[in-house]
Amino acid sequence: MPDVTEGQGLVKKRRSSNFTDGQITEALTVLALCSGNKRKASERTGINASTLAQWKNKHYVEEYKRIVEKELPRVYGEIAERCEDLALTESAIEEELALKLQAEMDQMKPSDVSTALRNMAVAKAVNIDKASLVRGRPTAITERRDASELLRSLANRFGGMVKVDAEAEAIEEET
């Protein structure tokens, strides 16, 4: 059975190294910021990837979970900010491409500039969508309406073209 002792905030289980509580917490934070990627966290901390994996999955499971819960919103905020910055940059490039197309369209193959313009618009839209997703904003708005409600709306809008019979008639199945 592992030796369990109380430290300063960390519950230590059979510590086989000379890392301080602060070093362990810092390494677990780096691991969380690397989305649990042991190799990447190992490169950043200088701590063996298998040691980080044992800390995360065996010795400091609750501490790692607490760090993830604390750091994840910050990480997502940074990702969203980067996506928004990229969308702004892409929007500026899109404007420049549109102006270039307008100024030089006689000398250019329209497909070249229009392709670049379309690609930049798509990249901008993707980054806006991803920033919205990460920030918890809706990326799609769906409206559900009853069919009879839609027909009444059409009848109100287009008068004599659409007629709504509010009474339903049961259809018997043929046997």
Residue 17, token pair as written in the block: 């190294």
Please report the pLDDT score of residue 7 as a whole number: 43
In this predicted structure, the answer to whether residue 100 has a pLDDT above a threshold of 50 is: yes
pLDDT category at 1 given cuts 50, 70, 90 is: very low
Of the candidates 32, 27, 29, 60, the residue with the CA atom closest to the CA atom of residue 46: 27
Question: Looking at the predicted structure, is the pLDDT value of residue 14 above 70?
Answer: no
> pLDDT value at position 143?
79
Question: Is the pLDDT at 45 greater than 70, yes or no?
Answer: yes
Domain ranges of the chain: 4-59, 73-134
For range 21-36, the mean pLDDT: 90
Dist. CA 16–CA 138, nearest whole Å:
47
Question: How many Å apart are CA 92 and CA 119, to the nearest integer?
Answer: 13
- Please give the average per-residue pLDDT across 170-175, as a whole number: 74
According to the model, what pLDDT value does residue 156 have? Answer: 80
Name 6's bridge partners. Answer: 11
* Sign for the pseudo-dihedral over CA of 31, 83, 89, 125: positive
Mean pLDDT (whole number) for 20-35: 91
Residue 4 has pLDDT above 50, yes or no: no
CA distance 55 to 27: 9
d(CA 158, CA 152): 10
